[in-house]
């Protein structure tokens, strides 16, 4: 049965997965943990994987879906930016729009996973369940006749109406965060060609390899672009030099290990030559995601405010 494009929201975008397809079938290998807990590979087209139903839409249809208004256009621009990595010549040249589009894509891949969307929903609920003095003050400043005296009462009456809108607004705002985007834009962007290595690059539904913070002295971001290319963004050229000291096989091994261990639903490959590696390492990382760290930070902030 054909997928309904209006409801299949790809958290691992089609344009990205196309880099792993094999001609002439135009398919790639998807590894997924099935209902019986066993991870099995299957051949599929890029449109037939990496998606969930309506994850960027309001559950109650109270607000417009982000898929059509934001995610799909952002992916279209990111695809154009990604093409620069595959252009001939040693020097990579981006327009300002292309750099911003690629940075936005990197941010989206840290936040668009269904697990992140679920975490964001809890984050919105926690914020409104634990109103701060600032939020109460803002409510009283905006209070009009007919509204409840207490902000808590107003929220209980309007929770369902505004929760979905707030969730989608937060998601778009975080992906479009100017501060983080400017840090990514300011990095030196490079591509490593690893096609002569022993193994091909894999990817997954969590393909970003990075330092804990972009403010670290040796901050970096890496992401497989295809079975033979990996994106490397660094804050300092000294960091790039350290990465370039790795052999091709060492770099591929490190990237593949992190990408596969970070996977939650899917790992993708151009063939089945690394079956055993994928099965041994699929989803074994316990590292908190970007969204989980944000939730922990906001919880700490609320705790400090309640004590103050």
Residue 172 within a domain: no
Residue 171 within a domain: no
Identify the domain containing residue 35 by its residue range.
Answer: 8-112+178-290
Residue 280 within a domain: yes
Q: What is the mean pLDDT of each run of 10 residues along the chain (308 residues)?
A: 64 98 93 89 96 85 80 96 90 92 97 92 79 83 92 82 82 92 96 96 98 94 98 98 98 98 97 97 90 83 67
pLDDT of residue 300: 81
pLDDT of residue 5: 47
* C-alpha neighbours within 13 Å on the C-beta side of residue 69: 11
SS3 track for the chain:
CCCCCCCEEECCCHHHHHHHCECCCCEEEEEEECCCCCEEEEEECHHHCCEEECCCCCCCCCCCCHHHHHHHHHHHHHHHHHHHHHCCCCCCCCCHHHHHHHHHHHHHHCCCCHHHHHHHHHHHHHHHHCCCHHHHHHHHHHCCCCCCCCHHHHHHHHHHHHHHHHHHHHHHHHHCCHHHHHHHHHCEEEEEECCCCCCCCCEECCCCEECCCCCCCCCEEEEEEECCEEEEEECCHHHHHHHHCCCHHHHHHHHHHHHHHHCCCEEEECCCCCHHHHHHHCCCCCCCCHHHHHHHHHHHHHHHHHHC
Residue 184 within a domain: yes
Residue 27 within a domain: yes
Domain count, the chain: 1
Residue 22 within a domain: yes
pLDDT of residue 132: 74
Residue linked to tokens 């803002």: 138
Q: What's the token pair of residue 303? A: 């705790």
Residue 145 within a domain: no
pLDDT of residue 307: 62
pLDDT of residue 1: 34
Residue 48 within a domain: yes
Whole-number Å distance between alpha carbons of 302 and 304: 5
Q: What residues pair up with 220 in beta bridges, in sequence order? A: 234
């Amino acid at each position: 049965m054909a997928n309904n494009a209006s409801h299949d929201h790809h958290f691992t975008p089609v344009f990205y997965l196309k880099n792993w397809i094999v001609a002439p079938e135009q398919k790639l290998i998807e590894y997924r943990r099935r209902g019986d807990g066993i991870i099995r590979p299957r051949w599929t087209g890029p449109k037939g994987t990496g998606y969930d139903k309506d994850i960027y839409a309001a559950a109650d249809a109270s607000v417009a879906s982000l898929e059509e208004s934001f995610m799909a256009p952002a992916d279209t621009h990111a695809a154009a930016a990604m093409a620069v990595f595959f252009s001939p010549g040693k020097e990579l040249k981006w327009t300002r729009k292309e750099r911003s589009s690629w940075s936005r894509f990197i941010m989206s891949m840290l936040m668009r996973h269904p697990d992140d969307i679920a975490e964001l929903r809890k984050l919105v609920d926690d914020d409104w369940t634990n109103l701060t003095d600032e939020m109460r003050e803002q409510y009283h400043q905006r209070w009009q006749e007919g509204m409840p005296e207490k902000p808590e009462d107003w929220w209980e009456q309007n929770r369902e109406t505004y929760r979905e809108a707030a969730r989608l607004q937060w998601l778009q705002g975080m992906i479009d965060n100017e501060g983080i985007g400017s840090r990514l834009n300011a990095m030196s962007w490079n591509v490593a060609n690893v096609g002569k290595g022993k193994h091909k690059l894999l990817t997954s539904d969590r393909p970003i390899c990075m330092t804990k913070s972009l403010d670290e002295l040796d901050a970096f971001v890496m992401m497989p672009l295809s079975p033979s290319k990996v994106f490397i963004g660094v804050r300092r050229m000294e960091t790039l030099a350290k990465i370039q000291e790795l052999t091709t096989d060492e770099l591929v091994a490190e990237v593949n290990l992190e990408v596969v261990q970070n996977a939650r639903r899917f790992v993708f490959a151009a063939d089945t030559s690394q079956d055993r590696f994928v099965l041994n390492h699929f989803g074994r990382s316990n590292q908190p995601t970007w969204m989980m760290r944000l939730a922990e930070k906001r919880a700490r902030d609320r705790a400090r405010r309640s004590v103050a």
